[in-house]
């Protein structure tokens, strides 16, 4: 009567993360739908503060998959990542002293993050979203792109004079084109 079904996802939770949900969602959008190996490499070299707790959470989900659900940990995919706001009206309040005895509230936001990994890649394709990403471009790629853009425009050579020639009132090194 009770059939044994194989678990398709292993889940890990991070609750009360002392970080705003928007910062964590930026990282979550970057790793959603990727293989675990690719996601961990991306998180390791991302220059974002929120990448470290997200990498620990992905590693925890992989450990849960191997230990608790007998999944092959070599080829797992990040199937689901959700980032929700934390408790207390989504932030805890701290007072910030202001001038003339007044005070303002600082809103220290918290987050709850859930990561699920599975053996099959997610069926739905990732939605292309605007905004900042954490993928860092290499400097060589940027240099070659700007060099290619600069070579398409033919600019006229500049006329140069040496400091001594300019001081003596001599003509430029190149003849002026008539």
- What's this model's pTM, rounded to 2 decimal places? 0.66
Q: Where are the domains of the chain?
A: 10-122
Give the Cα-Cα-Cα angle 113, 116, 119 (nearest 5 degrees).
165
Least confident of 25-34, 87-96, 150-159: 150-159
Least confident of 72-81, 90-99, 111-120: 90-99
pLDDT band at 137, cuts 50/70/90? very low
Q: Please give the average per-residue pLDDT across 34-55, as a whole number.
A: 92
CA 126 to chain CA centroid, nearest Å: 15
The pLDDT value given to residue 148: 63
Structure tokens at 32: 């959603």
> What is the 8-class DSSP label of residue 123?
S
CA 110 to chain CA centroid, nearest Å: 19
The pLDDT value given to residue 150: 61
Q: How far is CA 161 from CA 61, 169, 172, in A?
A: 67, 10, 5
The pLDDT value given to residue 64: 94
pLDDT digit string (tens) for 99-129?
Answer: 998 998 888 889 999 999 999 888 777 666 6
CATH fold of 10-122 reads: Ribosomal Protein L22; Chain A (3.90.470)
Is the pLDDT at 143 greater than 80? The verdict is: no
């Amino acid at each position: 009567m009770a059939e044994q079904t194989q678990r398709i996802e292993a889940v890990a939770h991070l609750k009360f993360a002392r970080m705003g949900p928007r910062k964590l969602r930026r990282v979550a959008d970057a790793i959603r739908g990727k293989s675990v190996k690719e996601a961990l490499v991306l998180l390791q070299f991302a220059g974002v503060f929120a990448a470290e707790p997200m990498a620990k959470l992905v590693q925890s989900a992989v450990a849960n998959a191997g230990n608790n659900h007998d999944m092959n940990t070599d080829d797992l995919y990040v199937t689901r990542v959700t980032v929700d706001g934390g408790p207390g009206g989504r932030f805890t309040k701290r007072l910030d002293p202001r001038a003339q005895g007044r005070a303002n509230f600082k809103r220290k936001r918290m987050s709850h993050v859930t990561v699920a990994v599975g053996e099959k890649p997610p069926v739905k394709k990732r939605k292309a979203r605007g905004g900042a990403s954490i993928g860092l471009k290499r400097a060589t790629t940027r240099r070659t792109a700007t060099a290619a853009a600069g070579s398409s425009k033919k600019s006229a050579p500049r006329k140069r004079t040496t400091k001594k020639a300019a001081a003596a009132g001599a003509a430029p090194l190149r003849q002026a084109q008539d």
